[in-house]
Amino acid sequence: MAIIWIDIWDTQNRSNTKKIINRYFNIGSFIVMVCRANMNLDVPQYKNCWKWGHTAGVCCIQWAKCVKCNGPYLISYHYYFAWCCKANNKTNPSRLETKKGNPCPYSFKCLNCKDDYQANSNKCSFWRYYFDKE
């Protein structure tokens, strides 16, 4: 007997994953059954790239990413470097500079699931995948 752990990222309400639970498959000359595993509530979200399920030891990026706009800087530098907080007269309508101390008025997509919130939000489907109980 062998146990193999496979992490299936199924962002559509886990509908595809649910279809293969308790089913048998042939892999080479072996017949295997897919079973549901207990969730690990200690799954990390690495604060450098904002991806779920890995740590500094396995992350490939060499710089921090902004959790809001995915820019190559920490969120604390978003106001200074992000295009959205800088004035631009060439856009139509022209964009005014965000006043220092005010929050960024633009909304961005989550880096993981591409929905309308930041990557560290508990609304993220990847967050729900790891922490919601059924």
Residue-wise pLDDT for 27-73, tens only, equals 888 888 887 765 555 567 788 888 877 677 777 887 888 888 888 88
For residue 109, being part of any structural domain is answered with yes
The tally of domains found in the chain comes to 1
**Global pTM exceeds 0.75:** no
Average pLDDT, the chain: 77
Give the model's pLDDT for residue 51.
Answer: 82
User: pLDDT > 90: what percent of the chain?
Assistant: 0
For residue 7, being part of any structural domain is answered with no
Full 3-state SS string of the chain = CCCCCCCCCCCCCCHHHHHHCCCEEEECCEEEECCCCCCCCCCCECCCCCCECCCCCCCCCCCCCCCCCCCCCCHHHHHHHCHHHCCECCCCCCECCCCCCCCCCCCCCCCCCCCCCCCCCCCCHHHHHHHCCC
For residue 31, being part of any structural domain is answered with no
For residue 53, being part of any structural domain is answered with yes
For residue 128, being part of any structural domain is answered with yes
For residue 69, being part of any structural domain is answered with yes
| Residue-number span of the structural domain to which 87 is assigned | 40-134
